[in-house]
Each structure stands twice: as C-alpha cells, then as structure tokens.
Structure 1
C-alpha cells in the first residue's frame, strides 16, 4: 500500500471511529433523563413514591423498539443524506424539542402532560438507538467492530456520567451549583440539537441500498398497525385476565407462610407477565404474517437462516446473566448489606465506576483486535463472572479491610464537590474489578451483535438482538430479591457466579461460527 493510500485509510478509520464516539454520546444522553434524573426531579418536586414508581413505566419504549425498527429499515426520510442519517437528524431534533417541552412542564401541576412528554422522550430516544445501532453496523468493516464497540461505549458512558451523575451534582443545593431541573433539561435539549448538527455535517455517508427487494409501503404500515394491535390485546389480556388468575392460582401456596403481601403481588405479576408474553408473541407473529409485514418477517428470516441462529440467540440471553444478577441489587447491598454512606457509593459506583467501565471497554476493544471475537468473549466472560467473587468477599469481610483514600473537594467549572468524601479501599477494589471486566465483556458483546446483523435488515435485527440481550437485566430482579433475602448476601453472590456458567458453556459449540463471521488477526493473516 502506497503512503498516500495508507494515510487515506488511516484518516478514514479515524473519521469512522470519531463518528461512533459522537453517536454513542448522543445515544447515552437521553437515557438517564427518563430514569434516574427524572426520578430525582419528581422527588424534589414533592411527588409521592407511588407516583414516581408508576412514572418509571415511561421507559417502556426501550423494551419494544424492535416493533417499529422495521419501518426505519424500510423508509428513508431524507434520501440525499444516504442510509440512516436522515433518521438520525430527525430523531435528534425531535428529542431536543421534546426535552424543551418537558423542561417547561411542572410535574406537580400537570402530571398527565408531563408523563406523556416523558414517554415521547423515551420513544424518540429508543428510536434514535435503533438508527445508531444500525448505522454503526452498516458503517464499520468487520476488522473495526471490536474497537468500534469500545469507542461507542466510551461515548455512551460519558453521556451517562453527564446526564446521570453530573446532573445530580448540579442540582444539589449543598454540594453542587443549585441548578434547577428545568435548566438541566434545557441544557440537554441544546446538546441534542448539537448532535443533530454533527449528524448532518460530520458523519460518514452510507450509500442507499438500491438493489434490495422492498415490500410495498402499505404492507409495512399495515403490518406495523397489526403488530401494535396484537400488543395492545396482549396487554389487556395480561391486566384483565392473567393477573387475577395468577393471584388466584398462587394463593394456596401462600397460606400459612411468611411471604409478605408485597412479595406475593410481585410473584403474581411475574406469572401474569409470562402468560401475557406467551399469548402476545405468537399473536404478533400471526398478525405480521397476515398483514404481510415483509420488512419485519424478512429480517427475522434473514437472521434465522444463519448457522446456529437459535444457539446464538440463547447465548445472547445468557452471556450477561450473571453480571445482571449481581448488579440488580448492588446499591441496596452496598448501602444496607455493608453499610456504606450514600455519598461514598455515589462517587465510587456512579462516577469512578463509569470511568473504569470506559477503560475496560477500550482495553477490550484493543485486545479483541488480536484475540478475535470468540476468544475475547470467552476470556472476558470468565473475568466478568469472576468479578462477582469480589462482592462475595465484601459480603463476608465487610468494610475496612483494605486501606482507602479521601476524595478531596473540587471545582472543575462544569461540576464541583463541596466536601471531601472518604472512599473505602475494599469498595474501590471491588467496583474497579467489576466495571473493568464488565466494560470488556460489553465491548465484545456489542461486537457480536454487530457481526450477526445483515445490512439490509440491520435496524430490525439489531433491535431484536438487543431486546433479547436485555432479558436478564429485566427479569432477574424478582428472583434476585427473593434469593438475597432467603440465602443471605454471601450465598447470593455465589449463585450469581453460577448464573454465568450457562452462557460460557453455550459459547463452546459456537467457536467455528464466530471465527467465521469475525476472525482474529492471526486467522486473517493465515487466510
């Protein structure tokens, strides 16, 4: 390769990876604005806990984004920008507008409108995620997907530090600068508008797919409407039929027992939700086939035509299961189980921990370039499973076992900490290990998802795969709470380690498939 062509290749690679960082930041920014930041705003505005708990449902669009992802594969709102960029500009501008409207709506005085706007923010954010995931998959060649996954995590985590961590310091009247939440949301709206400008002017252009067969637009629209009708029917069945029936079926099991009413309700809700899914998924599939929702059906057929598609899907569910199992109760464990102060946990877990996860993701991307995808998934999976032993050690020995440090007060202009905060050495070591290994595993896992998607259906397929990847994070909560209360924290974290074993075992028969779709550097040279 001549010097000019080598330089051009390096500049092109730098441009692609910089674009991935920018889109990763844009993807991560709105997440906390419908989660932790939103709950803090509601609390400071005087809303009761029950109402705040109900409003946590505004995040449901993140779970169901695969339902409208096919429309983003099928249509291009601004073809002159190439594939995907029109959707990026549109969703980011809409997000900026929705955040501005949310900032102008007082939750205590206009709760219904506030909730509707928060759902709109979550819907637009989930839609942006669909486009960014597909755009990144279309953009990066196979050799850059490992480092691409890492720098995406870098941008994503930086945005979460800003909107989920720094924003809480900004609004603290004692430790921070005393900003109001509407001021924070207006600032975030401006950042989303800036992201739209970057998407319009700076992102690499991906050519439109002109030779791919397309279903008629009316079939896709009718198919989407049919699938949504099936989802609504499944929701009504869950609420009106499955929930009362589940409570009645489980009632004999609780007679004479010591299970609290709240825990009984949780198990009934879980059983009802499983029954609702058992009805909704086949019903939605039937509706999609009858309405000829070809973009969705084609994306599913394309994925399942690949070798070991079912096995890979099971692996996607299981790979981060042990990590999710330990993490779902991490905050109550640190606060109540070990007895750390909330400021100490916040600084280590929410700020330092996120930076360490960024470092782990970057390290994982560099190692993947040498190891290849299969070996990286195996090594990083073993490390993230072993990190659960750190929490077991902390549960057994408690605080004060390792020398700690004092984080001094600081003022960096955009964020400040008014008082010095002590940090326990054991907490710092365990959180460091968990976030470093978790970041490495996340980078490899994201590279796997990108490698499994086909360009024609990348939005549909990535949305489906990421939905399956979230199964563990969503469903382990009730079971984890029961086990932690019944077995105690040390045994609970041993169980979380065992929960990681099925994913590692599923990886073994997948070696040939993963080495085919994402070879290591050594394999590529041999070829």
Structure 2
C-alpha cells in the first residue's frame, strides 16, 4: 500500500468519524427529545414550543466567522474547535440526563438549547474541515462518506435510542450513553485527526474589532428581544398567557425584531469577517430570491415532520419500539436510498428540473400522513418482525409493524431524500469558495428556518384543528416552494449542473 493511499484512507476515516459526530446530536435536541417529552407527559403544544431549542441551527452563520477567524492554541483552527465543541457536547448531554422535562422544564430547555448551539457550531467546523482537508478529486467520495456516517448516527440517536428507551424504560440512561459516545469522538479529534494545510489561515482582520462586532450583535439581539416583549406587554398581552396563540405571538415577534437589530449592530460596529462574507453572497444576482427558495423548498416537509414522533406515539398510539424501528431505523435507510436515487436522476436532469420534480414528489408524500390520520393504525394490516439480538440493539419479543405506517414512512423518506439531493446541490452552487464556511453556514441556517420555526405553530395548530386537517395544511404550505422553483427557472439554469450531492447534513 502506497503512502498516497494510506493518506487518503486516513482522511476518509477522519471524515467518517466527524460525519458520525455531526449527526449524533441532531435527534437528541429534536425527535428523540420529543419522544422523551411525550413519554414524560408534556402536552402537545409545549412539545411544539420545545422545537425552538433548535434556533441556533438558523443563526450559526452569525458566529461561524469567529471560528474562521480565531485559532485555539496547539491543535490548530479546525481540530481545536472540533475537540472543544465535542467535549462540551458530551458534558451538556450528561447534564441533560440528570434533568426531568416534566418537573424542571426550564432547565431542560436550557440544556437542549446548549446541545443545539454546540451541535450547530460543530457542524460549521466539520463542513469547513472537510473542505480544507480533502483535495478536489476526493471531495465527491468524502461527501458520500460524510453523509453515510451522518445518517448512521441519526439511526443511532433517533431510532436505536427509541428502542433502548422502551426496553430500558429510561431516557436519562440513553442520553448518558450518547454523552459517552460524543466524548469518544472528542478524543479522536484530539489525538487522531490529520492536520489541514498550513497555508489555510484565517482571514486577516483586527481581532479586537471582530470581538467587539460580535458583542454588539449579541447586544442588538438582546435589545430586540426586550423591545418586542415590552411593546406587546404595553399592549396588554401576557407572555405567560394560557392561550398558546398569545405565547406564539411573543416568540415570533421577539425573533422578528431581535435578528435584524443584531445584524444592524454588528454592521455598525464592524464585525468584518461576517460583513465581508455576507456582502460577498448578496452581491450575487438573485441572492434574496434564492434565500426565499431555500426557506420555502423544505417548508412542507418541515410541517409534516415537525411533530411526527408525538403524532405516531400519542395521536396514533404506536409503541416507542415500533416508531423507532419504522420511522427511524427503516426510515433513515430509505432516506439514504432516496438520496442515491436522486443522485442518479441528477446525472440526467439539470438542477432546475431536479428541484421541480423532487419538490412535487415531496408535496405528494405528505398526503400519506393525512391518510394515516384518517384511517388509523391497522387499516392495512401488519407484518410481524421476529425478535432479534444484535448486541448493540435487540428486540426481546416479536413486534408487529403497521403496513400503512411503513408505506407512509417509505414515501416520505424516499422523496425527502431525493429532494435533499437537489437542495444540497443548490446550496453548493451558491457558495463563494473564499467564504465557503460562512456561506454554507448562512445557507444551511436559512434551510433550517422551516424545521425550527414551524414547530411551535405546528403544536398549537394540530391541537386546534386536529391531525387530518393539519397534514392537509402541510400540503398547502409545500406549494409555494415548488412555485418558487418555477419562478426562478432561468436563474437556476444559469447556475449550471453542479456535481450531484447525496444528502443534506442537517
């Protein structure tokens, strides 16, 4: 074996570990956490509000420039940030395991927000490290390895975790195991990752001014939050009103004012790395329209998927083991299958046609959840899954899997995987290589807007109108994304035919 092949194997092994570390925390602040909340007896609207703990995924581009600009000592800019975020994630997951979502909801929410913040920060560095480490001829294979490892981690934290929780009757024990796995990933980052090229240095700017700009941005966000809250309270509204719609109004108003005010403060004080990277993106023709497309394209999927776990557990009465096997284990493998199918199709179709066709398929797949909500469990019969013991995961007794549930999950995940392929190809095509870390963080943050911000609305809406009407509404919400693809067809065609991606890592 040559030195070149050994080096390539080392690089791809590093990408495998980091892809796994990147995918592990997502469900722990999302679907797995929703299952824990549901089992602990938390009401549906509150579970919807807990979806807001993922807000850091939509803001990560605001601190991504700091991780580009500053270098932790000894380990280097990328490896240092990786080790720091991964050990911190392990610590917060351990703390989260000590809490109860029912008896200490505020502390539990703080811990979940910290998990999401550190996970989003880790994603920024993983994306940048992968770009810096891999030579151009290895990036396609490296992307496939990353996606495979990312989805494998999601199977563990989103699917296997539900099975463990059902068998152990303990979600805290599950989170302790996840904390130990994350600590092991941190050790690999600390001791075994290859270094990136020494020539890949941070952008040259005044560090004091960068920190001052970041501090000003935080102050602007805090001021916007306080201002929105104060105005609504002066209007006679109570943020703790029992009416969930009033609570939702406070949340949306606080976000709507805090973010622009934070951006304005950062711009005025001079957060140079952020300002330069964002100016570079918005200099592109149609930049704002592309951001609208990025938000809308997955919005229908976000609505349908925002409360899937509570819907299946509480609304349909499926067991944690059945949901874990069908929705998480089988579902994520089907997402990978859909991504590969989409990648093959994209070798024949240009970006515009791929986005259009896959977007329509995503919209149609949401109808399956409406059918499940109307017909209920058992409508199409079931299939028996025999007991098994694979060491890491086992099923102690034969379990029935609902055929309608499996069909709905298959349609949603395969079409979702196909849509994600084209979607990631779009994000890659819009990135300027000089600012790729911050640009990708910006675009993927906007991509997460639907997944994060529809959650509180979904919780309130599903309680108000019922599950069947809720899923019909998700189909209506998906339509504007498809329409935006058609309206931007000329601009999408000008982007050319980027190399197909395999899946989105968020």
Preserved contact between residue 52 and residue 453 of structure 2 (Cα < 8 Å)? no
Q: Which has the larger radius of gyration?
A: 1
What is residue 503 of structure 2 aligned with on the other side? none
Number of aligned residues: 497
Distance 1:500 1:110 in 2: 36
Cα 1:507/1:59, change in 2 over 3 Å = closer
Partner of 2:229: 239
The aligned counterpart of 1:74 is 69
Deviations 1:29-73 (A, max 9, x none): 1234445556777899x89879x9698776554443333211012
Structure 1 pair 332/275, CA: closer, same or farther in 2 (3 Å)? closer
Residue among 129, 150, 159 paired with 1:156 = 150
Q: How does 1:22-101 map to 2 (within 5 A)?
A: 22-35=17-30, 59-78=54-73, 81=76, 84-100=78-94
| Correspondence list, 1:84-483, <5 A | 84-100=78-94, 119-138=113-132, 151-172=145-166, 176=167, 181=172, 184-199=174-189, 203=193, 205-207=195-197, 214-243=204-233, 245=235, 247=237, 262=242, 265-334=243-312, 340=318, 343-477=321-455, 479-480=457-458
Give the Cα–Cα distance (whole angstroms) in 1 for the partners of residues 297 and 24 of structure 2. 26
Aligned-partner SS, 2:237:
helix
1:385/1:497 contact within 8 Å kept: yes
Q: Return the alpha-carbon distance in structure 2 between the equivalents of residues 475 and 33 of structure 1.
A: 18
Give yes or no for contact 1:266–1:478 (8 Å, CA) kept in 2: no
Look up the SS of the partner of 2:367 in the other structure: helix
Pairing partner for 1:497 from 452, 475, 479: 475
* Secondary structure, counterpart of 1:406 in structure 2: strand
Gaps of 5+ in 1: 251-260, 523-527
Cα pair distance change 1:357/1:104, threshold 3 Å: same
Within 1, Cα distance between the matches of 2:148 and 2:293? 25
Question: What is the CA distance between 1:205 and its match in structure 2?
Answer: 4.7
**Mean alpha-carbon deviation: is it higher for 191-200 or for 12-21?**
12-21
Decide whether the 8 Å contact of 2:51 with 2:453 is kept in 1.
no
1:222, 1:293 within 8 Å by CA — same for their partners in 2?
yes
Is the deviation greater in 94-103 or in 83-92? 94-103
Cα distance change of structure 1 residues 162 and 101 upon mapping to structure 2, 3 Å threshold: same
8 Å contact 1:24–1:155 — kept in the other structure?
Answer: yes
Of the structure 1 ranges 63-72 and 488-497, higher mean CA displacement relative to structure 2 is found in 488-497
| Distance change in 2, residues 1:313/1:220 (3 Å) | same
Q: Tell me the CA shift for residue 432 of structure 1.
A: 0.7
Offset at 1:487? 5.9
Aligned-partner Cα distance in 1 for 2:165–2:318: 23
TM-score by length of 1: 0.79
